[in-house]
Amino acid sequence: MAPDQQDRQTRDLPGRPASAAPSPEEPTEPREPLPPKEDQAAPADVSATGRDWHEARHPRAQGGAHHTTAQGLRLPDTDHSLKAGVRGPVLLQDHHLREKITHFDHERIPERVVHARGAGAHGVFTGYGTASHICRAAFLAKDAETPVFVRFSTVVGSRGSADTVRDTRGFATKFYTSEGVFDLVGNNIPVFFIQDAVKFPDVVHAAKPHPDREIPQAQSAHDTFWDFVSLHTEATFHTMMFMSDRGIPRSFRMMEGFGVHTFRLVGPDGGTTLAKFHWKPRAGVHSLVWEEAQIINGVDPDFHRRDLADAIEAGAHPQWELGVQTFPDTPEQTFQGIDLLDPTKIVPEEMAPVQPVGLLTLNANPSNFFAETEQVAFHPGHLVPGVDLTDDALLAGRLFSYLDTQISRLGGPNFAQLPINRPHVPVNDMHRDGMHQTAVHEGVAPYRPNSLDGGCPFAAGAGAGGYLETPVAVPAATKQRRAPASFLDHTSQPRMFWLSLSPVEREHLIAAYTFELGKCYENAVKERVLGVLADIDGELCEAVAEGLGLPAPAPSGPLPSVPASPALSQVGGTWPAAGRIIGIVADDKGDLDGVRAAREKILAGGMVPLVVAPAGGTLGDGGGEPIVVQRTLAAARSVEFDALLLAGRLAPAPDSYGARDAKAGVADPAESTVDPRAALLAGEAFRHAKPIGGWSGAEEVLAAAGCPVSAPGVLLNGPVDTVVAGVVNLLAGHRVWERFPARAGLGG
C-alpha cells in the first residue's frame, strides 16, 4: 500500500469522519529532523574510541523523517498487528510487533538501591584559582571552565516516591574535566550515619520499608529505623540533622552540599593538605516546614524536581560556591582533637573556615530523563590529579560499592560509554568487549607491553598528566576489626548541634522527633531513643518525652561541655530573594492595576509572580492589559509560594463552586463573603510563617481565615509598591519566624 493510502486509512478511525482535516498533532508530511535545543546538546563530542559522537549517534536519533524498526527498515504502519484478515489471528511473523513489545518489556532498569528518586541538571564549574597552590587539579585553576552534571536525590524512597519527604538529600556532581571525570558524591548533611562501610546494608535495611508489608514508603518514621539508630549511637548526629529542618529542604537550589569525608589534596610541588569539600548555595539554606512538606507530597509530589527545572528554564540559574576546609596532613590525621577519618564528625566552620575555590552554575535541563538523570553513574573513586583519598573506612567501602552497583543497575561494565558518563577527553583504556559495548576498537594488541600496535598506549607519568597516588606511609599495624577510640564519642557533636540551633529550629527538631516516634509501635524503641536524647540535652529529651507521653530518663553521665557552632543554624541570616515565588491572588473585582504593578516589581527583582484567580483564562478583560491566570483557586495551594499577595477581598462568585462551598460551611449564607479557597491559601501561608501583603479588602480574606491582621509579617493597605517591597524584604529572612513562637526557655 502506498504511504499516502496508508495515512488515509490510519486517519479513518471510528468516530472520526474520513473527510476530516488532519489534526495538527498528526502531520502527514515527513519533516526534517529538529535541531537539538541549544542549551541541551549532548554533553560530550567524543565517543569512547575518540570518534565524533554526533556522527555515530545521528542514524539512531528519533528526529528523522521516517519511522523505522531498530534495523532501519522503514515502516508504513505501527498501529496494527499483522493479521490473517482484518479480524485475525495475529501472525507470529510480525517482527515489528515482537520487536516493539520486547523493547517495551525491557524499558525499566533496576532503580538505585538507595538515592533512587532524583533530578539532574547540566551546568558549568568555574575555578577561582584560589586553591591552585594546594591542589594541582586543572578544574580548580583560575577561570578554568568545566562542564558538569549534578544529580540531587532523596535516599530512602523508590523512584516514584514524593520529593519532600523527611530524608537526607544526595548532591552528586560529575565534573567532565580536561584530565578525566571527577565525581564529588556528597549529601546535604555534613556527617554520615556510620563510620564503616560494612554497616551500610544494616542502616539501609533498617530505613527501607518493612520487608513484610513493604511500608512505609520513603519514611524514617517507623520502628526498624528507630530500632537501629537507637542501638547504634554513632548515627545520632546524622539522625538529628535530618530530623532538623535540613531534612526537608525548600528546594534543591537552597541546600548546602558536603563531600563528608576528608580528602587529600596534592599541590603543584607534591605537597599534601587534608580537606573537606562544601557547596554553599548563593540562594541561602532554606527549608519547608513539616506541615507544608506533607501537603506538598500529596499536592505536588514532583515539587523539588519541578522547582529545579522551572528555575533553570526561567533563566534563574542556581549557583553554589565550592569551598574547602583545609587541615595540615599530619600522621595523626586529626585537627584540634577532631578525628578527620571519622565521617560522623564535622570540623566546625568557626575552627576551619570554608574557603571558596570555584563557582557552580546549573544552566540547562536534561533533554531526556532516562538517558541522563537515570543513567548517570557516579563513583567517589573517579578522581583527577590533585585529589587523593584518605583511609576513612566508610570511603574505602564506597570505592568498592559504586562500581559494583553500576554493573548490575546499568547491565554491564561498559556504562562509562553512555553519553552522560563519557569523559570529555580521549579514552585509551584496554577494556574490551562486555555487555553493551558500543566502541568499535581497532588494533590487535589491547595489552601492555605490546609491539604490534606500536606500543600504544604509553604510560603517562606525572609530566604527561598521569595520576600518581600519594606515597603515604602505612604505619606498622596489626590486622583487626576495630575502630579507633575517638570514634566512640557519639554525643559531643550532637550536643553541639542542639546548642547551635535557634529556638524555632529546636522547636522543629522536637516536633520531628515527636512525630517520627509517635509513628512507632514499640515502646521499647521509643524509650531507647529517649535514652539517647537524654545524653544530648535534658530539655530536648523532656520535650519529646512529653509529646510521647513517656517519662524522660536521666542522662547516663554528665553532658559534654561543647561550644556552639553558629554556622550550623539556618535561621537569622538574610539572603537574596531572587528566584523565590510570590503568589498574587485576585479576581476580576480586585485591584488589577495593583496586580500589574506587583507583577512588574516582582519580575524586576528576579522573582517569579504566580497569578491565582477563581477561574482560568485572563483577568482584566474589561480594560487595560489582560493578566494571564497561572493557577486557579481549585488547583493552587499556598505551599507553592514563598510569600502571598492578596489583591482584593475575593468574594465567591454567585453560584460558583466557591460560593456553594462557602454557604455549606456557614450558618447564614449571607455571611459567606470570601471564597473559602482563598481563605485556605491565606490561612496556610499565615500558619507557615510566610510574608503576606494585601490591599483592596484583603483584610476580609485574612479575617475569614482567622488570622490576626496585626500579626508580624502581615502588610496591609499601603501603596502597592510599598507592600510588595515590604514582603520582598521579609523574604530575605525566608520566613517571619516571630509567628512561629518557640516554647519558653528554648532560647538556650
Three cell numbers, residue 376 = 548517570
Determine which residue in the list 200, 226, 487, 513 makes contact with ligand HDD, applying CB under 6 A. 200
What is the C-alpha separation between 510 and 493, in angstroms, rounded? 17
Three cell numbers, residue 105 = 518489556
Q: Which is nearer to ligand HDD, 149 or 686 (CB)?
A: 149
**Phi and psi for 274 in degrees, rounded to 5?**
-85, 145
Coil, helix or strand at residue 664: helix
Three cell numbers, residue 477 = 599495624
From 187, 365, 414, 421, active-site residue: 187
Determine which residue in the list 327, 378, 641, 695 makes contact with ligand HDD, applying CB under 6 A. 378
- Determine the interface stretch with ligand HDD among 51-59, 192-200, 573-581, 674-682 (rule: CB under 6 A): 192-200
- Determine the interface stretch with ligand HDD among 269-277, 393-401, 417-425, 440-448 (rule: CB under 6 A): 393-401
Coil, helix or strand at residue 747: coil
Do residues 500 and 240 touch, judged by C-beta distance below 8 A? no
- Our finding on whether 401 is near ligand HDD (CB under 6 A) is yes
What is the C-alpha separation between 250 and 577, in angstroms, rounded? 13
Separation in Å, CA 547 to CA 237, 267, 540, 551: 21, 53, 11, 10
Contacts of 461 (CB under 8 A, 6+ apart): 468
Determine which residue in the list 157, 186, 579, 605 makes contact with ligand HDD, applying CB under 6 A. 186
Determine which residue in the list 149, 192, 641, 695 makes contact with ligand HDD, applying CB under 6 A. 192
What is the C-alpha separation between 138 and 145, in angstroms, rounded? 10
Considering CB under 6 A, how many residues would be counted as binding ligand HDD?
27
Determine which residue in the list 119, 131, 185, 496 makes contact with ligand HDD, applying CB under 6 A. 185
Q: Which is nearer to ligand HDD, 255 or 613 (CB)?
A: 255
SS3 content of the chain, % helix, strand, coil (to 5): 30, 15, 55
- Our finding on whether 415 is near ligand HDD (CB under 6 A) is no
Determine which residue in the list 118, 257, 494, 648 makes contact with ligand HDD, applying CB under 6 A. 118
Do residues 154 and 170 touch, judged by C-beta distance below 8 A? yes
Q: Which of residues 330-359 bind ligand HDD (CB under 6 A)?
A: 343
What is the C-alpha separation between 659 and 655, in angstroms, rounded? 6
Determine which residue in the list 47, 164, 187, 224 makes contact with ligand HDD, applying CB under 6 A. 187
Minimum separation from the CB atom of position 43 to ligand HDD (A): 16
Q: Is 187 a catalytic residue?
A: yes
Minimum separation from the CB atom of position 409 to ligand HDD (A): 7
The residue of the chain with the least Cβ separation from ligand HDD equals: 170
- Residue tagged 602505612 (cell numbers): 474
What is the C-alpha separation between 234 and 490, in angstroms, rounded? 5
Max CA pair span of the chain: 96
- Determine the interface stretch with ligand HDD among 318-326, 354-362, 372-380, 549-557 (rule: CB under 6 A): 372-380
Q: Which of residues 132-171 bind ligand HDD (CB under 6 A)?
A: 151, 153, 170
Q: Is 115 a catalytic residue?
A: yes
Instruction: Name the β-bridge partners of 633.
Output: none
What is the C-alpha separation between 714 and 689, in angstroms, rounded? 10
Minimum separation from the CB atom of position 398 to ligand HDD (A): 5
- Our finding on whether 113 is near ligand HDD (CB under 6 A) is yes
Determine which residue in the list 10, 272, 405, 492 makes contact with ligand HDD, applying CB under 6 A. 405
Q: Which of residues 244-273 bind ligand HDD (CB under 6 A)?
A: 260
| Helical segments of 589-650, H only | 592-604
Among all residues, which ones are annotated catalytic? 115, 187
Which spans of this chain sit near ligand HDD (rule: CB under 6 A)?
Answer: 112-115, 118, 151, 153, 170, 172, 185-187, 192, 197, 200, 260, 343, 376-378, 394, 397-398, 401-402, 405-406
